[in-house]
Amino acid sequence: MPPSPTVRTVIIGAGAGGLAMARELRRSGDDDFCIFERSDAIGGVWRDNTYPGAACDVPSHLYSFSWDTPRWRQRYATQPEILANLNALCNREGLEPFLRLGTGVERLSYSEALQRWHLELTTGETATAQVVISAVGQLREPFLPRICGSELFEGESWHSSSWPTRKISLEGRDIAVIGTGASAIQLVPEIAREAHSVTVFQRTAPYVLPKAPPWSQPQQLLFDHLSFTSKVDRLLLFLRGEVLTAGYLRSHSLSKRIALTCRTYLEQAIPSPELRAKCTPNYEVGCKRILFSSNWYPTLLRPNVTLVANEAVRLDADGVFDADGQHHPATVVIYATGFQGQSFLQPMEVIGQNGQTLREAWSPYPKAYFGLAVAGFPNFFMIYGPNTNLGANSVLYMEETQVRYIATAIRYLHASHFSSLNLRRDRERSFERWIARRSKFTSYTSGCRSWYVDTQGRNINNWPSFTWNYRRKLGQFQSSDYELR
Ligand code: NAP
């Protein structure tokens, strides 16, 4: 039986954040909720990104919720392993009965009179709820650059997050890959093994560090049988992430050290001065995400791989032109060009008090109190909203903090017999000023092009402080931050 569309709480999205939220509600004895998921399966980004080599470059013990203790099979879990773990979590916590798959939310509007949200679903149905929690993530809608002539291209093309589900052979093909972000550096080494040629278009060279080696057999046995050892490993990884973060918070000596470590690795990995020059980043370390890969540079040394240190600007029937007008033949074009990280909840339309849309409230830029609440949108929360992405630690740690906070807010709402919580504008403004002030001192705003900042160079996506500081600041739900009705 599908869950009733009139529930106390609706969660939108069944990725890691949405599932963790559902688990938290169930654990607090609240079964009056449902999860709307637009796709036919759970998993979010780990369901969508099935490109060859898809994995998490954050080590598995850190890329886990603290209450979850999966027996990871490797130091860096692959996409199938992470997706299997999310499915196992869904089973273990008995979340299936609360799921409505294939049901997207198109529009939600708040009724002041009823103090409830009214949801319009992609199935043509409607639903109402007292509380709505959006857990749709930041990296959902693919970004496809406008490259002229793309309609003339006679080969096949796709985005890294829409890898063809049919069995596709890349053997003997000439492949152009546009982009050198986290997705590209995972998929290129895999496809280069079978392709005739791979031409990689790199607009900006990434900073790269090698991954730690795979676990030895004794390590694997230790983690499997003495679970506290994986907790110790997690703590060490977390601290390492915070040290990297210190480098991004403009600790000049530390960021210089991180950059030097990357350069030393580059020098060891790439003997050719010409190729090394192409691979040398020309911006402050941390401004874009540092990439962790032990096979990216070795792949660039392969005879069938060419790194074009230039933008892809035009396509014709049989290839790609770079910005210097040079033509590179290709029968397949793979766009590893990232996501519309600042569109957040779009295309969903959210209408709050007085008919104001979230899009209007977010003009000229998206912002939210600790990334999770917006004044004028009562009883509406977000997981992984603006300014909650990280440069060097685990986003799941942030999501876990948000989930606990939101569950406490909901419990408070029910226990206090108030019907709505509406963020106070003064709290929103002072938080916004804090974000702007802190962001000035981070490498995120040091001047490169990245999905973390908008066209004005404002930090929209990242948390501009230490990860522990987010948990410390958000640890206690304060009802005084809200207007209560
Ligand atoms: P991305 O980091 O935004 O990279 C997009 C790439 O496309 C950039 O290198 C960009 O160049 C390039 N590009 C765009 N248009 C181009 C053009 N016309 N010609 C040449 N290059 C062009 O996207 P992503 O790799 O999909 O990663 C997005 C985020 O997903 C990551 O930051 C990370 O948070 C997450 N992710 C994580 C993992 C993991 O292992 N944890 C793996 C994959 C993705 P510029 O740099 O010059 O803009």
| CATH code assigned at 166 | 3.50.50.60
Domains in the chain: how many in total? Answer: 2
What's the CA-to-centroid distance between 439 and ligand 1, angstroms?
21
Q: Based on the domain organization, do 54 and 156 belong to the same domain? A: no
Beta bridge partners of 335: 159, 178
> Side chain identity at 126, as an amino acid letter?
T
Q: Which atom of ligand 1 is the closest one to the Cα of 56? A: 40
Reported confidence tier of residue 1, pLDDT bands at 50, 70, 90: very low
Q: Based on the domain organization, do 103 and 173 belong to the same domain? A: no
Pairing of strands 126-134, 421-423: unpaired
Q: Is any atom of ligand 1 closer than 6 Å to the C-beta of 145? A: yes
Q: Is any atom of ligand 1 closer than 6 Å to the C-beta of 293? A: no
Q: Which of 363, 391, 388 is nearest to 373 (CA)?
A: 388
Average pLDDT in the 259-272 region?
98
Q: Which of 184, 125, 108, 103 is nearest to 351 (CA)?
A: 108
Q: Is any atom of ligand 1 closer than 6 Å to the C-beta of 141? A: no
Range of the domain at 271: 150-335
CA dist list (Å): 155 to 202, 215, 406, 421:
21, 41, 48, 53
The reported pLDDT for the residue numbered 2 is: 52
Q: What is the pLDDT of residues 48-93, one digit of tens each?
A: 999 999 999 999 999 999 999 889 999 999 999 999 999 999 999 9
Q: Which atom of ligand 1 is the closest one to the Cα of 204? A: 47
Q: Based on the domain organization, do 114 and 219 belong to the same domain? A: no
Q: Based on the domain organization, do 230 and 316 belong to the same domain? A: yes
Nearest residue (CA) to ligand 1, atom 18: 312
Q: Based on the domain organization, do 155 and 224 belong to the same domain? A: yes
Q: Which atom of ligand 1 is the closest one to the Cα of 313? A: 18
What's the CA-to-centroid distance between 123 and ligand 1, angstroms?
33
Q: Is residue 1 part of a domain?
A: no
Pairing of strands 421-423, 482-484: antiparallel
Average pLDDT in the 273-294 region?
97
Q: What is the pLDDT of residues 2-23, one digit of tens each?
A: 555 689 999 999 999 999 999 9
Q: Is residue 275 part of a domain?
A: yes
Question: Does the pLDDT value for residue 138 go beyond 70?
Answer: yes
Q: Based on the domain organization, do 169 and 297 belong to the same domain? A: yes
What's the CA-to-centroid distance between 169 and ligand 1, angstroms?
24
What's the CA-to-centroid distance between 207 and ligand 1, angstroms?
13
Q: Based on the domain organization, do 325 and 386 belong to the same domain? A: no
Q: What is the pLDDT of residues 419-450, one digit of tens each?
A: 999 999 999 999 999 999 999 999 999 999 99
In degrees and rounded to multiples of 5, residue 258 shows phi and psi of -65, -45
What's the CA-to-centroid distance between 38 and ligand 1, angstroms?
24
Nearest residue (CA) to ligand 1, atom 4: 181
Question: Does the pLDDT value for residue 194 go beyond 90?
Answer: yes
Q: Which residues, in sequence order, are CB contacts of 349 under 8 Å at separation 6+?
A: 106, 107, 108, 357, 358, 359
Q: Based on the domain organization, do 302 and 317 belong to the same domain? A: yes
